[in-house]
Amino acid sequence: MRQVYGLHAVRMLLARSAHDVHVLRVQRGEWQKGLKGLVALAAEHQVAVEQVPRAALDELTGGARHQGVVALCRKAAAPALKDWRPLYGKDEHNALFLVLDGVEDPHNLGACLRVADAAGARAVIRPVHRGVGLTPAAVKVACGAAESVPLIEVNNLARTLRDMKEAGIWLVGADAGAPGSIYEMDLTGPLALVLGGEGEGMRRLTRESCDHLVHIPMRGCVESLNVAVAAGICLYEALRQRHRPG
């Protein structure tokens, strides 16, 4: 069975797909503490709840930070989509995508899904053979966004980016060495923001596929930002521009 753990991830799962949950396992002794509301939500949706020792949850999740709750689901995680086109669809002018080229840390992927959901992105796109997929750790960090934001896994990212350009989607990549700032770029209209993975950043073909490269201004002594933080800055600058007066 698929497992989902962590307070926020399980709460969103119960709110959206309680029918998929076989049983909710909660840490014994925590029933009347922080998990009380979660247990009540499970009861509201007629989901069985079992109290178990913390050691049982540790073993079930491989020692992950489960926060005292694990949901066991009958249904496997929804498979990642293969095509972005159906999500482009109507209202193309406002289409916003996030492209991740080789993000390796599941916590970063989960955080990117979360901020993509918050900013109204249509989907997150990643190369299937490079970087991490939707692991239980990524689902936990996504805090429900793994259930709402489609994750599209493609075999050839450069080809996908070319197809997006041909469809009229503007590709803007974040690169520390770019001369222009993210705040100087027009991010309105159909747009895909492209970010590289931890350490190496974007691959050469990915970088060359972008219409424009921009940097995020850095005023302190650190040289780079976490990829999820960078995604948040870029997505919310696009959101700001799309909703500014006039």
CB 11, CB 34: distance < 8 Å = no
pLDDT digits (tens, 9 = 90+) for 68-119: 888 888 765 555 678 888 888 777 888 999 999 999 999 999 999 999 999 9
Superfamily designation of domain 2-73:
Ribosomal protein L30/S12 (3.30.1330.30)
Residue 30 is predicted with a pLDDT of 60
C-alpha span between 76 and 183 (Å, rounded): 41
Q: Pick 85-242's CATH classification: 3.40.720.10, 3.40.50.150, 2.130.10.10, 3.40.1280.10.
A: 3.40.1280.10
Q: How far is CA 75 from CA 6, 10, 71, 126, in A?
A: 18, 14, 11, 23
Mean pLDDT of the chain: 88
Mean pLDDT confidence for 215-231: 88
CB 142, CB 114: distance < 8 Å = yes
pLDDT digits (tens, 9 = 90+) for 5-55: 888 888 888 887 788 888 999 988 765 566 888 888 888 889 999 888 889
Mean pLDDT confidence for 149-166: 94
Name the band, by pLDDT with cuts 50, 70 and 90, for residue 147: confident
The domain segmentation of the chain, as residue ranges, is 2-73, 85-242
Residue 77 is predicted with a pLDDT of 56
C-alpha span between 238 and 193 (Å, rounded): 9
Mean pLDDT confidence for 154-173: 95
Instruction: Assess whether pLDDT exceeds 90 at residue 235.
Output: yes
Residue 79 is predicted with a pLDDT of 57
Name the band, by pLDDT with cuts 50, 70 and 90, for residue 172: very high
Q: Which residue has the higher pLDDT, 177 or 192?
A: 192
C-alpha span between 97 and 100 (Å, rounded): 10
Count of positions (residues) in the chain? 246
Mean pLDDT confidence for 208-217: 96
Instruction: Assess whether pLDDT exceeds 80 at residue 163.
Output: yes
